[in-house]
Structure 1
Amino acid sequence: RDGDHMVHSRIGLEYPCVYFHEMREMDEDKLKENACIIVDEAQFLTKEEVLYLVHLVDDCGIPVICYGLRADFKGDLFPGSYELLVMADKLEEVKTICWCGKKAAFNARFDEKGRVLKEGAQVVIGANDQYIGLCRKHWMLGDLGPDFNGQGTGD
């Protein structure tokens, strides 16, 4: 989404990539030349795409690593995440920390006034600056913390 056939990190790194639909059109022998396949934003995969990745692992012997969010800002599983939770051989959580020091298990979406939102479209393209990781308690309370733009809970 950030460029033509390039993956860009938030810290400025970039690397060439192949889009998923292009990978599906590739010959499996060509795919086997890769040490592994890495999928970013895996929460947006369809069930069919997850099953294709399972085929690559089980039938072609190609390791696949997927990165993505488990749930949206409402606390609902993304469809792709659900399918991956069902089919994955192994799950590893990348832990982040809430402002209070506890594990941030929820992704809160907030507006320009610092209010945590619980309604709206599941996906807002290019809105990375409108999300923050929170623990369950502060996600439920809608509390972005005492230092968040001086807003506290956004009230």
Structure 2
Amino acid sequence: MAELVFFSGTMDCGKSTLALQMHHNHAARGRDGVLFTRQDRAGDSTISSRLGLVHGAHEVRDETDFWDEVVARRTHGRRVDYLICDEAQFYTAQQVDQLARAVDELGVDVFAFGISTDFRTRLFPGSARLVELADRVETLQVRALCWCGARATHNARTVGGVMVVEGAQVVVGDVGADAAADEVGYEVLCRRHHVQRMTAATAHAASPSAQTLAEPAAMLPLDA
């Protein structure tokens, strides 16, 4: 039976790497697949991994209809056994419905990869619909780390290293880039430091006493 599987995790946890590895594995067994992406940081029509892997893909637009994409290829003689859908958080809810229909009625496996929540900890529409419809939701096992060493669970948007909590939901940037004062970047944080809005840059700039209090090992019980 074909499946709709959503592979989810924070930024910098290897989603695009897994997407390309999965495509390689299936293609090596003679299966025919089509790769899609949307707003990859490397540019249009590209799936790129921070490990340096790059592969061409079809750019998803607002008008893209996945049902039509599969039917058109099959009409012209392609099997289309599976779809690799990277940056799926940027897809519309209607496009996720189309993917689910392709799974159920055309027998196409769909492997979608994306982050669940934005820099405000709100679900992206595409991710929300994938959680609602997917046969399986898989959390990637490669853990991204906060600057403090704890597991990173939240995505933070920064401007010049300072976390911001307002703005458009979608602004393309990279993780770990040395952004100029007016450039948008992203950083993965644990929940505690996301709530405190403490990025690596602001922690480094803090006084020694403030930075010590931010470290989990330095927290004392109230009666100490």
8 Å contact kept, 1:97–1:104:
yes
Higher relative contact order (CA 8 A, sep 6+): 2
Structure 2 counterpart of 1:143, from 198, 220, 223: 198
Distance in 1 separating the partners of 2:65 and 2:54: 19
Aligned residues with identical type, % of pairs: 34
- In the TM superposition, what is the alpha-carbon distance from 1:115 to its structure 2 partner? 1.5
98, 111, 121: which one aligns with 2:168: 121
Following superposition, the deviation at residue 150 of structure 1 comes to: 3.4
Aligned to 1:101: 149
Q: Which amino acid aligns with 2:205?
A: Q
Pairing of 1:2-151 with structure 2 (within 5 A): 2-3=42-43, 5-20=45-60, 21=64, 23-28=66-71, 30=73, 33-94=79-140, 95-112=143-160, 114-125=161-172, 127-128=173-174, 129=177, 130-145=185-200, 150-151=204-205
Q: Within 2, Cα distance between the matches of 1:75 and 1:3?
A: 25
| CA separation of 1:90 and 1:39: change in aligned 2, threshold 3 A | same
Q: 8 Å contact 1:143–1:152 — kept in the other structure?
A: no
2:70/2:80 contact within 8 Å kept: no
CA distance in 1, matches of 2:44, 2:191: 37
1:37-80 alpha-carbon deviations (Å, 9 max, x no partner): 11111111112101100011111111101111111101111111
Number of aligned residue pairs: 150
Q: Distance in 2 between matches of 1:45 and 1:16?
A: 18
Secondary structure at the counterpart of residue 55 of structure 1: helix
Larger radius of gyration: 2
- Are 2:66 and 2:102, in contact at CA under 8 Å, matched by a contact in 1? no
Please identify, of 30-39 and 19-28, the stretch whose mean Cα deviation from structure 2 is larger: 19-28
Report Cα offsets for 1:90-133 as digits up to 9, x if no partner.
11112322122322110011111x211111111113x2231011
- C-alpha distance in 1 between matches for 2:51 and 2:202: 22
Paired with 1:23 and 1:55, the residues of 2 have a C-alpha distance of 9
TM-score scaled by length of structure 1 = 0.83
Instruction: Kindly report the root-mean-square deviation, in angstroms, between the aligned alpha carbons of the 2 structures.
Output: 2.5
Partners of 1:30 and 1:22 lie apart in 2 by: 13
Contact in 1 for aligned 2:45/2:56 (Cα 8 Å) = yes
Amino acid at match of 2:49: S
Deviating beyond 4 angstroms after TM superposition, the runs of 4 or more aligned structure 1 residues are none
3-state SS, counterpart of residue 106 of structure 2: coil
